[in-house]
Chains A and B, each alone.
Chain A
Amino acid sequence: MKSIRMRVNGQPVEREVPDHRLLVDFIRYDLGLTGAKEGCSVGVCGACTVLLNGQPVSSCLALAVMADGGEVTTIEGLAEGERLHPLQQAFIDYGGFQCGICTPGQIMASKALLDANPHPSAEQIKEWMMGNLCRCTGYYKIIEAIQAAAAGKTGP
């Protein structure tokens, strides 16, 4: 067991975890934040995307102990009270999701993109988001939602 401390969505967290606890399991089962989903379990599908120290990572491939001392942001940390993050609102307004399984990962990956590059081209969005799989939308609505959020648009 290891004692780990980090900030999760701005809040300090301290827990004892087995050394082999995966970050996705730590977030979901120890902290009860079930937005990030374990989809493929091999770092391919993107459903478990969270930000670790501001960078998008596959939390299914990271060990919880490797986040010790760091800052984790999950989908639960984006809204301010009742007010959704502009990306969350844009995904609703532009139909960027249907079943919703991939959506927390899509939004965390797109947040990392806009943090690094506030006005990406459609090509840059496709390249960055290529590893977040969605089996419902056909991706165009996701790209539109990210473009809308980047442009500060509300509603189509």
Chain B
Amino acid sequence: MNPFTYTEPATIEEALAALTRYGDEAKLIAGGTGLVNLMKQRLVNPGYLVSLRRLSALANVSIDRDRGLRIGALCTHHALETSPIVRQHAPLLAEAARRVATIRIRTMATLGGAVAHADPNQDLPPALIALDARVKLRGPKGEREVAIDQFFTGYYETLTQPDEIVTEIAIPPSPSTNGSAYLKFLPQTADDYATVSVAARVSLNQGAISDVRVALGAAASTPLRAKAVEDALRGRVPTRTTLDEAAALVAGIVDPLADFRGSAEYKRDMAIVFVRRALTDAIAGAGGAVA
């Protein structure tokens, strides 16, 4: 790892000032599990590290009946998987967090870090897309919110500007007839990145799918929302045939990279299988059944 200067601002204003001052030379660090690995391999060589760890207000979780969940960017994965509020109001996010790597990573790695890092293989982004989450960014000119399905722009790239900080994730309230599932296909080890992962959320109304979200990890250069699959299901009564036909559409959306977890063709096939399974589980979670 190349040497750098480490700073630990006491307020968000100081953190923003540090980003403005150091410009391209600065990187934000929270848990560090992603960034330190990249720095050790000298893939990223910042001259300045601006640590967020003193900004404890960014680790809060709150729930509001109308606005939904608001989760501070510094919340760790372990906090997400164990938080009673998150488990009750966004079980999909708690489940995705529980499936990340090992307990040692989950105690360090943060929600904001997972979003800002934008590694397409990671677990929280697909879950957040399926939950219609919004990313709150704070910059020198104030705050803005971005829908998370617009947030990821490329391989490890997001809409975040170099002088902005991801401060919070907002998740709107879900209808009570809502079921969700996060499936992670792990043919090798349980702490691995997925060969493909799928987050699905389904709302049912009188046996028909009134709303649905499907998002995938490890399926393209960014976390991916499968809108074509959603459109094929909205308003339909879930049957095996409907699910098979809708899931098959994901093959035209994914653009997986071949690696030691599988060839691109294999991952495309597995995306179909796991979309169908995740939808089946989410429908069951919503109190429905696949006819």
Contacts and interface: CB of A to CB of B under 8 A. Distances in A.
Interface in B28-70: 29, 32-33, 36-37, 40, 49, 51, 53
A130 B191 contact: yes
A43 B103 contact: no
A46 B33 contact: no
B104 A58 contact: yes
Interface in B233-252: none
Contacts of B105: 43, 58, 131
A128 B101 CA distance: 11
Interface residues of A, number: 28
A15 interface: no
Contact of A62 (B3, B78, B108): B108
Contact of B4 (A19, A55, A58, A131): A19
A64 B2 CA distance: 15
Interface residues of B, number: 27
A58 B33 contact: yes
A43 B104 contact: yes
Interface in A86-140: 109, 112, 128, 130-132
Contacts of A18: 3
B103 A62 contact: no
Contacts of B53: 66
A112 B191 contact: no
30 contacts: A20-B3, A20-B6, A41-B40, A42-B40, A43-B37, A43-B104, A43-B105, A46-B104, A56-B103, A57-B107, A58-B104, A58-B105, A61-B33, A61-B36, A61-B108, A62-B32, A62-B108, A63-B29, A63-B32, A63-B36, A65-B6, A65-B8, A65-B51, A112-B103, A128-B103, A130-B102, A130-B189, A130-B191, A131-B101, A131-B103
Interface of B: 1-6, 8, 29, 32-33, 36-37, 40, 49, 51, 53, 78, 101-105, 107-108, 189-191
